[in-house]
Protein backbone atom coordinates (compact mmCIF):
# COMPACT_ATOMS: atom_id res chain seq x y z
CA UNK A 1 0.00 0.00 0.00
CA UNK A 2 1.37 3.38 -1.01
CA UNK A 3 0.72 6.39 1.16
CA UNK A 4 1.71 9.99 0.52
CA UNK A 5 1.50 12.68 3.18
CA UNK A 6 2.22 16.35 2.53
CA UNK A 7 3.32 18.91 5.09
CA UNK A 8 4.75 22.41 5.24
CA UNK A 9 1.81 24.45 4.02
CA UNK A 10 0.64 27.61 5.73
CA UNK A 11 -0.04 31.33 5.46
CA UNK A 12 2.70 33.54 4.04
CA UNK A 13 2.93 37.07 2.70
CA UNK A 14 3.54 37.73 -0.98
CA UNK A 15 7.24 37.51 -1.73
CA UNK A 16 7.82 34.98 1.01
CA UNK A 17 8.89 31.34 0.87
CA UNK A 18 7.62 27.94 1.94
CA UNK A 19 9.02 24.44 1.65
CA UNK A 20 6.56 21.62 1.16
CA UNK A 21 7.47 18.04 1.99
CA UNK A 22 5.92 14.77 0.89
CA UNK A 23 6.61 11.59 2.83
CA UNK A 24 6.04 8.43 0.81
CA UNK A 25 5.69 4.83 1.91
CA UNK A 26 6.63 1.86 -0.24
CA UNK A 27 9.92 0.21 -1.07
CA UNK A 28 9.76 1.08 -4.77
CA UNK A 29 9.45 4.83 -4.26
CA UNK A 30 12.72 5.53 -6.02
CA UNK A 31 11.52 3.98 -9.30
CA UNK A 32 8.70 6.44 -9.91
CA UNK A 33 8.31 9.93 -11.21
CA UNK A 34 6.93 12.14 -8.46
CA UNK A 35 5.03 15.37 -8.93
CA UNK A 36 3.31 18.27 -7.25
CA UNK A 37 -0.10 19.52 -8.37
CA UNK A 38 -2.29 22.25 -6.94
CA UNK A 39 -5.95 23.13 -6.91
CA UNK A 40 -7.43 26.52 -6.17
CA UNK A 41 -11.12 26.94 -5.26
CA UNK A 42 -13.32 26.61 -8.32
CA UNK A 43 -10.44 25.59 -10.57
CA UNK A 44 -9.11 22.38 -12.05
CA UNK A 45 -6.20 20.60 -10.45
CA UNK A 46 -3.08 21.76 -12.29
CA UNK A 47 0.46 20.53 -12.70
CA UNK A 48 3.16 22.38 -10.77
CA UNK A 49 6.38 20.37 -10.98
CA UNK A 50 7.70 16.84 -11.45
CA UNK A 51 10.97 14.99 -10.99
CA UNK A 52 12.37 11.83 -12.52
CA UNK A 53 13.19 8.80 -10.39
CA UNK A 54 16.88 9.73 -10.32
CA UNK A 55 16.26 13.39 -9.64
CA UNK A 56 18.27 14.37 -12.71
CA UNK A 57 15.32 15.59 -14.75
CA UNK A 58 12.74 18.09 -13.55
CA UNK A 59 9.91 19.94 -15.18
CA UNK A 60 8.06 23.00 -13.93
CA UNK A 61 4.88 24.68 -15.04
CA UNK A 62 5.51 28.00 -16.78
CA UNK A 63 3.70 29.82 -13.96
CA UNK A 64 6.30 28.73 -11.38
CA UNK A 65 9.52 28.63 -13.41
CA UNK A 66 12.34 30.44 -11.68
CA UNK A 67 10.45 30.45 -8.37
CA UNK A 68 9.74 26.81 -7.42
CA UNK A 69 12.21 23.93 -7.21
CA UNK A 70 11.32 20.26 -6.87
CA UNK A 71 13.76 17.79 -5.35
CA UNK A 72 13.77 14.31 -3.84
CA UNK A 73 15.70 12.16 -1.41
CA UNK A 74 15.20 8.52 -2.33
CA UNK A 75 17.01 7.30 0.75
CA UNK A 76 14.38 9.00 2.90
CA UNK A 77 11.38 8.48 0.58
CA UNK A 78 10.84 12.23 0.49
CA UNK A 79 9.91 14.76 -2.17
CA UNK A 80 10.17 18.50 -1.64
CA UNK A 81 8.88 21.67 -3.24
CA UNK A 82 10.78 24.83 -2.42
CA UNK A 83 8.58 27.80 -3.22
CA UNK A 84 10.13 31.25 -3.37
CA UNK A 85 8.76 34.66 -4.31
CA UNK A 86 5.24 33.46 -3.64
CA UNK A 87 2.31 35.29 -5.20
CA UNK A 88 -1.35 35.47 -4.16
CA UNK A 89 -2.21 33.42 -7.26
CA UNK A 90 -0.15 30.54 -5.81
CA UNK A 91 -2.84 30.10 -3.16
CA UNK A 92 -4.17 26.54 -3.44
CA UNK A 93 -4.18 23.10 -1.92
CA UNK A 94 -0.94 21.40 -2.96
CA UNK A 95 -0.88 17.66 -3.64
CA UNK A 96 1.96 15.20 -3.96
CA UNK A 97 1.46 12.43 -6.53
CA UNK A 98 3.20 9.28 -7.75
CA UNK A 99 3.26 8.20 -11.38
CA UNK A 100 1.43 5.06 -12.45
CA UNK A 101 4.37 3.30 -14.01
CA UNK A 102 8.11 2.90 -13.80
CA UNK A 103 9.14 5.49 -16.35
CA UNK A 104 11.77 8.10 -16.76
CA UNK A 105 9.40 10.18 -18.86
CA UNK A 106 7.88 13.06 -16.96
CA UNK A 107 4.23 13.75 -17.68
CA UNK A 108 2.14 16.74 -16.67
CA UNK A 109 -1.10 14.79 -17.13
CA UNK A 110 -2.74 14.25 -13.74
CA UNK A 111 -4.39 11.06 -14.99
CA UNK A 112 -0.95 9.47 -15.30
CA UNK A 113 -0.56 9.66 -11.51
CA UNK A 114 -2.39 7.11 -9.40
CA UNK A 115 -1.45 7.82 -5.79
CA UNK A 116 -2.18 11.15 -4.14
CA UNK A 117 -1.72 12.66 -0.75
CA UNK A 118 -4.54 14.47 1.10
CA UNK A 119 -3.00 17.85 0.29
CA UNK A 120 -1.66 20.81 2.24
CA UNK A 121 -3.09 24.34 2.10
CA UNK A 122 -0.89 27.20 0.95
CA UNK A 123 -2.29 30.71 1.34
CA UNK A 124 -0.40 33.74 0.08
CA UNK A 125 -1.65 37.11 1.28
CA UNK A 126 -1.13 40.31 -0.70
- Chain segment 52-87, per-residue pLDDT in tens: 999 999 999 999 999 999 999 999 999 999 999 999
Q: Is the pLDDT of residue 102 over 90?
A: no
pLDDT given at position 87: 98
Mean pLDDT of 41-48: 97
In the predicted model, what is the mean pLDDT of the chain?
A: 95
Instruction: Check pLDDT > 90 for residue 103.
Output: no
Between CA 126 and CA 113 the distance in angstroms is 33
- C-alpha to C-alpha distances, 3 to 25, 33, 115, nearest whole angstrom: 5, 15, 7
Amino acid sequence: QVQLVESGGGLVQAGGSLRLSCAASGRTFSRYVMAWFRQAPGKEREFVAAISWSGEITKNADSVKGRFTISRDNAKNMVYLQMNRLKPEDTAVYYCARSKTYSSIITTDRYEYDYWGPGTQVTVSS
